[in-house]
Amino acid sequence: MVAEPEGPEEAPEDRKPLSDEATSEFALPEGLVPEPPPAEPEGSAFVVPEGLAPEPPPEPEGSAFAMPSTYSAKDSPPAFTPAYGVPLARLPHNAPWQDRMRTMLRLPVGDRPVPERAPKDESGPSVPRVLDLTLRIGELLLAGGEGAEDVEAAMFAICRSYGLDRCEPTVTFTLLSITYQPSLVDDPVTANRTVRRRGTDYTRLAAVYQLLADINAPAHEVSPEEAYRRLAEIRRNRHPYPGWVLTAAAGVLAGAASTLLGGGPWVFFVAALGAVLGDRLAWLCAGRGLPEFYQFLVAAMPPAAMGVLLTLLHADLRPSAVITGGLFALIPGRALVAAVQDGLTGFYITASARLLEVAYFFVAIVVGVLSVLYVAVQFDAQLNPEGALSPVERPVTQIVSSMVLCATFAILLQQSRGTVLFATFNGGVAWVVYASIAVTGEGSTVMATAVAAGLVGLFGQLMARYHHTSSLPYVTAAIGPLLPGSATYFGVLAIAQNNLDQGFTSLAKAAALALAIAIGVNLGGELARLFMRAPGAVSARSAAKRTRGF
């Protein structure tokens, strides 16, 4: 008998293995746990270095830390946030050109708005000619006492008005440079100019600003040839006041300053005489080609000699008022304001150079006065260093004296006759504010000086924005009554009398007052730019000069 199979017979295809690995000798038998792979030997390129954590596993889908599914590194959106943040500066189209150019200069080159280009004109001005015109105008501005940022803004505005958009102006104390690069693949064109002579002529400065306003205005089309012609006329212009008027103004300024400090008519006359002699000596040194250091030194000596002469004659006058009044016209107030302004706006090299220049002028004044006072001490001249502690309060006389001081200061700065009246009024308001805080309210003199200087800067910037010109003619003369003439004199006197601690303390107070003036003027101007629009600004600009975002 044949035995029956216990189960159904399997088909041949059911006994066929699914793959060759099923019968491979390398296949893992069922029920056997695989061993972990051996560790990489030390020094292998695949070993994770000590101290470095391995990369974490990817976040599960839907996690808040997972990369969004719609984001792709290859197809990233065009908008991005730079490392320094998003620039928030936005100006309307009718903002003054100074504000627009200053704001653009404070932005990186890649973030500056691109102007809408007009149809290309092949007969446009050549690049070297535009750059040369820009440097010549910048030279006049820098030599006239403008801040470095204002000079750069003017140079930038000229280049953009003539179609040179990718330009970079650079201003230092004695060197102007500008670079233009048409595109990223073209070679840049660079030109520079050295500023060797400086002079104070605010009439010329106002004429340069008028030329700049016409170049940037949409209603004017000033060609480079016309700009060169007007620039030559500005250079050839005569000063509005002859030399004898300037000398007389220096004397009246000194007399008004001495009256402001408590002097009478005789003190006014003696202080004016000393200032006139000092001015003539300075003119003589300038004609001989001596540096400005020696001009300031010799100009400070006659007022000090007049004060010492009054002391030796035992005249019942105020020698300290005579000497202090003669120093008011010599203190470089505008240079100090420009130095602090350059430092606050980031031009540290130019600010350092200006501060060094101011320091040299102060040293020249100190040496000139100290030389005379040292001789006076040898002759037993009884100079009283406590005279500054007993001021004479005469409100009406002092207000009138402060306004006369500002008017004569404006004449010395060669201002146009139309700006002298406002500078005089602005200086009178500054003195009223200062006296209200420091004398009537018995407050800090430094704080009173800063507040008064802030109002001077605010009002001066408003007038400059209204007339589309520089703020210097409205500000520089108005800070005259606030200058630290008495603190400088009493510091020098204490040093001459061998009271070094008291002398350096007084000179430090003079430096603090000077810095308060500079910071106050700068802050007042910035407030005017930030919160107040220019009256009479143009409402629209032509397509060739319109910029996106400005």
Calpha distance 237→239 (Å, rounded): 7
Neighbouring-strand partners of residue 168: 179
DSSP state of 549: T
- CA distances to 50, 297, 310, 506 from 500, rounded to whole Å, are 65, 21, 25, 10
Whole-prediction pTM value? 0.70
- The tens-digit pLDDT sequence of the chain (550 residues) is 445 555 555 545 555 555 554 555 666 677 777 666 666 566 566 666 676 666 666 656 556 565 555 555 555 555 555 554 544 455 555 666 666 666 666 666 555 665 554 444 445 578 889 999 999 999 999 888 888 888 998 998 898 888 887 888 999 888 899 999 887 778 888 999 988 877 778 888 888 988 998 888 877 778 889 999 999 888 887 778 888 888 899 999 989 988 888 788 888 998 899 999 999 999 899 888 888 899 999 998 998 888 888 877 776 677 778 888 888 878 887 787 888 888 887 888 888 988 888 888 888 888 888 888 888 777 776 665 544 445 567 788 889 999 999 999 999 888 888 889 999 999 999 999 998 898 888 888 889 989 999 999 889 888 888 887 888 888 888 888 888 877 777 787 777 777 888 888 888 888 888 888 888 888 888 787 776 554 444 333 333 333 333 3
In a 3-state reduction of DSSP, which class is residue 536? coil
Q: Retrieve residue 265's tokens.
A: 């008519």
Q: Provide the β-strand partners of residue 547.
A: 115
Distances, alpha carbon 133 to alpha carbons 2, 136, 163, 225, 466, in Å: 123, 5, 14, 10, 26
Q: How far apart are CA 113 and CA 433, in angstroms?
A: 42
Q: Specify the amino acid at residue 369.
A: V
Contact of 388 with 490, CB cutoff 8 Å: yes
Burial label, 210 (beta-carbon count in 10 A; 0-12, 13-18, 19+):
middle
Check residue 131 and give its pLDDT.
92
Q: In what order do the strands lie in the sheet with 167-171?
A: 167-171, 175-180, 189-194
